[in-house]
Amino acid sequence: MAALIVEVQSSSAASADEQSASSGDARVVQTAATPAKTTTRRPRTLEKDTRIAEQPGFVLHSYPYKETSLIVDVFTRDHGRIALVAKGAKRPHSKLRGVLQTFQPLSVGWSGKAEVRTLTSAEWVGGLLPLEKSALLCGFYLNELLVKLLARDDPHPALFDHYVSALNQLAHDEPAAIVLRKFERALLKESGVSGDWTICTATRNPLLAGLNYVVDPERGPRPVRPADTWPQVAGKTLLDMEKEDYSDAATQMQSKFLMRFLLAHHLNGAPLNTRQILIDLLQL
């Protein structure tokens, strides 16, 4: 960059041209000894998208904002979990009142680059049966997991597909315990807090179906030690879970207590309200 100096006018050394300028003004001049250089400016990039249209998404949670609006927590396929303000959504004749419902496949659009952006469109696209009775409660459990474990603006398209699949299975009366275990495992893997459960982290060898292991929440499976208080699971259980095979009753039982332990760890002890209801009602 060319060296710059500030030349301040003085009455004793001013030239005829300089004397025509206001006394005390300052101007910047380039020294003749240093050649000028061009500076390439990096283009500014926005931290968040400014306008998005027709993005697949689901409402996870909403709460009132001011007198007529809502803040809506939406799980989108390509942008992750985002917060949107739905202006006027509480008004009696708002088109959004019947659209911004949980478990409804939506096509949403928004604008803005703040943490909470502005909802510009929301349309129901259909394709899923409604959740009823216990399946509805299971759906709220999935939503609570996403709200509490996923950071905002962190895309997880594969997890979004798992979510759609889980809702579809619940709507078709698939066994709730198995649907929830599959989604819990997918959530831990896709959010990056859990890795491969087919390899022993202590030996780097494949897990053996006949041996017992514990799953270190931060590292992964390792052989059981005498002082361990963590849930013990058979190698077969972990291998079954990686294959999403829950046909074995022992796998179903051990996976339930394992996932309860791991989720409690990653939630830092924060309670899951819907899980407690499920435990009380359905023993899940």
75-128 tens-digit pLDDT: 999 999 999 999 999 998 898 988 999 999 999 999 998 899 999 999 999 889
**Considering just the CA atoms, what is the radius of gyration of the chain in Å?**
29
196-215 tens-digit pLDDT: 999 999 999 999 999 999 99
- pLDDT score for 274: 87
Q: What is the DSSP letter of 137?
A: H
| Mean pLDDT, residues 243-248 | 96
SS3 content of the chain, % helix, strand, coil (to 5): 30, 25, 45
| Mean pLDDT, residues 63-70 | 94
Exposed, middle or buried, 50 (CB in 10 Å: 0-12/13-18/19+)?
A: exposed
219-229 tens-digit pLDDT: 999 999 999 99
d(Cα 97, Cα 53) in Å, to the nearest integer? Answer: 20
The partner residues of 199 in beta bridges, in order of sequence, read 206
Beta strand 80-86 pairing with 116-124: parallel
34-52 tens-digit pLDDT: 444 444 444 444 444 589 9
- pLDDT score for 102: 96
Phi/psi of residue 51, each to 5°? -150, 125
Return all residues near 189 (Cβ < 8 A) that are at least 6 apart: 195
Higher pLDDT, 160 or 30: 160
User: Is the pLDDT at 1 greater than 50, yes or no?
Assistant: no
